[in-house]
A and B are shown apart, each in its own frame.
Chain A
Amino acid sequence: QQQVKQSPQSLIVQKGGISIINCAYENTAFDYFPWYQQFPGKGPALLIAIRPDVSEKKEGRFTISFNKSAKQFSLHIMDSQPGDSATYFCAASRQPGTYKYIFGTGTRLKVLA
């Protein structure tokens, strides 16, 4: 019940295409869902986040879609660029306000030039 399941494990997209990464959770107590981006040799950095009171949040080319009834959320990267090549982690806040996140297993995205 504490897991966050992320798919796919790896993804290859052509430049200009749409990258879609999916996550699913079980614990309905989760109330904050961030996505982190990690480049090789670096620590993860917050990319975008959403709370369950909205179904979608967009920041530039990055959009989170949230389906509360299905307990699923996804990251969409529009017009994917080679610079987006990184590992993406979804996460969920296990105890609201404590920021002790459960992370997904990560998706390694490669955008071909």
Chain B
Amino acid sequence: EADIYQTPRYLVIGTGKKITLECSQTMGHDKMYWYQQDPGMELHLIHYSYGVNSTEKGDLSSESTVSRIRTEHFPLTLESARPSHTSQYLCASSESGQGDGELFFGEGSRLTVL
């Protein structure tokens, strides 16, 4: 069982609100990721981090921002939520090194912006 946790699991908010999705892992993994999962199931990488103070944008352009101040914590923030941000957000982590790179996913945060 993977030790990666996301909160909140579900969030319904109004347009213009600031939100932060929390992600924490207890496996000591250096690499962490945020994926956006559309209602039709596809996953798109929006942010990733190779370690503390290292963050980069992913393939899918996103208005969200991330920070990595501690190894175990990788929060995602939307300064002003819009209906177009409605989606499921999945956090993941993986070990460093030359291993097979298995991604360990959290259970997701489903965001609905009204």
Contact = CB atoms under 8 A, between A and B. Distances in A.
Interface string B21-52: 00000000001010100001111110010000
Interface residues of A, number: 25
- Interface hub of B2, B33, B103, B108 (most chain A Cβ within 10 A): B103
B84 interface: no
B17 to A, nearest CB: 24
B107 A43 contact: yes
Nearest to A45: B105
Interface residues of B, number: 26
Interface in A5-53: 32, 34, 36, 41-46, 49
Nearest to A108: B41
A103 B100 contact: no
A87 B31 CA distance: 25
B94 A99 contact: yes
A89 interface: yes
Given A43-B92, A44-B90, A34 B102 contact: yes
Contacts of A36: 103
B114 to A, nearest CB: 22
Contact of B90 (A43, A97, A100, A104): A43
A42 B40 CA distance: 15
B40 A99 contact: no
A43 B48 contact: no
5 contacts: A41-B108, A43-B108, A44-B105, A99-B94, A103-B42
